[in-house]
């Protein structure tokens, strides 16, 4: 084995870009591991745990650590690092600027900006977001691992300054047609979305797009906003902002299971624009039902959501038994995972085990599973019998071709007798190609559904025989 370890002082790239660089380099022939990340204590510790000899560095430095099977493969991997980093270069600023701005506030003055996107390690996100809010900017905090006390302070300051904080841990937003973070290609239209859930928003807006209905804005507020601690601070602001927006005729409020108090407060908020809620929980609408309510409220017909039934089995059917088959949910989206678990439990499938691989527990020091499927592929390979239910989320920021990595793993699972069901979340305009991805996953042996709720119910039916 050959190792490359390099620390580049004062070279910054955002975390999402570096995740994609690490994934691309890891995919090179002969590369066993690649860590291309900011030299935070966490990332240095990860590289050292992998056996790399990492010199002293600061969080403002770039860490490159690559291991390959031979010197030649390592050299090619190093060249790939350079190509990928060059591709992430930020667009140049105004031509008359001699030096780049050193703070968010000075950048806002230079560009006459109204919105800042913060994507730095969580321990540094609060300071950057506060700087943006103090400069009069709304801010999307993509970063996670921000303490809840800091989130509350940040959102209170934003309210006082008349701006909006989306996040922390806000993975998806669409503002005036511009997608931020993980974002599907959506047509413009009359529906505004407030989302304490990234993949929940993506599911609803993708279904609406498939039905020919577009969005005005998608305002993510962070997964904790409707918790008891945060109390819906940004949700209330976002609802009022969309209520005042003349382009928004109907609002959708979507969240993973909220705390009772904040959920009640936002339901009772006085607005002139009608609101459809998708606050997941026992007895509540699932995401697909919420999308259908939106269509009905707009006077549009509800289509038959696309699905691709599994082809004939590539291996003999499991022996008939009165015992229910085990159900394993392998998810990249937390809200989609929660929705599937709720559907399984309501159908009496108590034996289902659901894992959200996008949770902080699984993303420390590695790319989000919507970018890097490695952990889910390992989990899928370990399933010997039963039913596997998983999501594949398309759009900008996500894996450029998920079927290439997932398809062969699905085919191997099906050959072992495992039933595989895929919830495919995306639109016809997404760069991966919705129908192409569906066709390839289906050809590998999976049953594919555009509705996560439909996929979950199908998986439960397979478990019960």
How far apart CA 161 and CA 82 sit, in angstroms, is 42
Q: Are residues 142 and 284 in the same domain?
A: yes
CATH code, domain with 57 = 3.30.70
How far apart CA 111 and CA 100 sit, in angstroms, is 11
Instruction: Please say which residue of 38, 53, 87 terminates a domain.
Output: 87
Answer yes or no: is 218 within a domain: yes
Q: Are residues 284 and 374 in the same domain?
A: no
CB 66 within 8 A of CB 75: no
Q: Are residues 289 and 342 in the same domain?
A: no
On average, the pLDDT of the chain sits at 90
Pairing of strands 188-196, 250-255: parallel
Predicted pLDDT of residue 92:
43
Q: Are residues 40 and 108 in the same domain?
A: no
Predicted pLDDT of residue 98:
57
Domain encompassing residue 78: 2-87
More confident residue, 363 or 419: 419
CB 202 within 8 A of CB 150: no
Instruction: Please say which residue of 240, 266, 297 terminates a domain.
Output: 297
Predicted pLDDT of residue 53:
94
How far apart CA 214 and CA 16 sit, in angstroms, is 27
Q: Are residues 419 and 276 in the same domain?
A: no
Instruction: Please say which residue of 61, 87, 113 terminates a domain.
Output: 87
Q: Are residues 131 and 253 in the same domain?
A: yes
Answer yes or no: is 61 within a domain: yes
Pairing of strands 2-8, 62-68: antiparallel
Predicted pLDDT of residue 89:
63
How far apart CA 151 and CA 161 sit, in angstroms, is 15
Q: What is the pLDDT of residues 394-416, one digit of tens each?
A: 999 898 899 999 999 999 999 99
**Tally: H helices and E strands in the chain:** 16, 18
Q: What is the pLDDT of residues 42-72, one digit of tens each?
A: 788 888 988 999 999 998 899 999 999 999 9
Range name among 134-143, 214-223, 328-337, 360-369 with the lowest pLDDT average = 360-369
Q: How many domains does the chain have?
A: 3
What's the Rg (C-alpha) of the chain? 23
Q: Are residues 327 and 232 in the same domain?
A: no
């Amino acid at each position: 084995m050959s190792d490359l370890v390099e620390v580049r002082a004062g070279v910054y790239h955002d975390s999402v870009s570096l995740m994609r660089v690490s994934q691309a380099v890891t995919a090179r022939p002969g590369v066993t591991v690649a860590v291309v990340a900011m030299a935070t204590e966490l990332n240095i510790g990860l590289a050292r745990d992998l056996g790399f000899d990492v010199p002293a560095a600061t969080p403002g430095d770039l860490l490159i650590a690559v291991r390959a099977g031979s010197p030649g493969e390592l050299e090619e991997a190093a060249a790939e690092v350079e190509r990928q980093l060059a591709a992430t270069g930020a667009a140049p600023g105004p031509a008359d600027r001699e030096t780049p701005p050193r703070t968010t506030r000075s950048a806002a003055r230079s560009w006459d900006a109204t919105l800042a996107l913060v994507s730095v390690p969580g321990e540094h996100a609060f300071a950057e977001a506060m700087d943006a809010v103090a400069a009069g900017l709304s801010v999307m905090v993509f970063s996670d691992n921000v303490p809840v006390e800091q989130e509350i302070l940040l959102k209170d300051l934003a309210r006082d300054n008349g701006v909006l904080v989306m996040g922390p841990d806000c993975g998806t937003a669409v503002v005036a047609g511009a997608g931020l973070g993980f974002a599907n290609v959506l047509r413009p239209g009359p529906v505004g979305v407030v989302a304490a859930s990234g993949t929940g928003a993506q599911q609803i807006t993708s279904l609406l797009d498939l039905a020919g209905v577009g969005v005005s804005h998608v305002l993510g507020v962070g997964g904790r906003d409707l918790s008891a601690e945060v109390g819906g601070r940004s949700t209330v602001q976002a609802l009022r902002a969309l209520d005042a927006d003349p382009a928004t005729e109907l609002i959708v409020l979507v969240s993973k299971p909220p705390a009772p108090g904040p959920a009640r407060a936002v339901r009772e908020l006085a607005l002139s624009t009608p609101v459809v809620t998708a606050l997941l929980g026992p007895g509540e609408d699932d995401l697909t039902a919420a999308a259908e309510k939106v269509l009905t409220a707009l006077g549009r017909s509800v289509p038959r959501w696309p699905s691709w039934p599994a082809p004939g089995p590539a291996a003999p059917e499991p022996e008939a038994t009165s015992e229910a088959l085990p159900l394993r949910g392998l998810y990249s989206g937390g809200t989609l995972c929660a929705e599937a678990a709720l559907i399984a439990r309501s159908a009496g499938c108590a034996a289902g085990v659901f894992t959200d691989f996008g949770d902080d527990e699984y993303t420390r020091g590695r790319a989000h599973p919507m970018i890097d499927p490695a952990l889910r592929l390992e989990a899928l390979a370990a399933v010997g019998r039963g039913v596997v239910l998983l999501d594949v989320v398309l759009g900008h920021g996500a894996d450029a071709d998920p079927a290439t990595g997932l398809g062969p793993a699905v085919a191997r699972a099906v050959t072992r007798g495992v039933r595989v069901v895929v919830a495919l979340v995306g639109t016809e305009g997404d760069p991966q190609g919705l129908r192409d991805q569906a066709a390839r996953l289906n050809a590998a042996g999976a049953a594919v559904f555009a509705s996560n709720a439909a996929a979950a119910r199908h998986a439960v039916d397979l478990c019960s025989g």
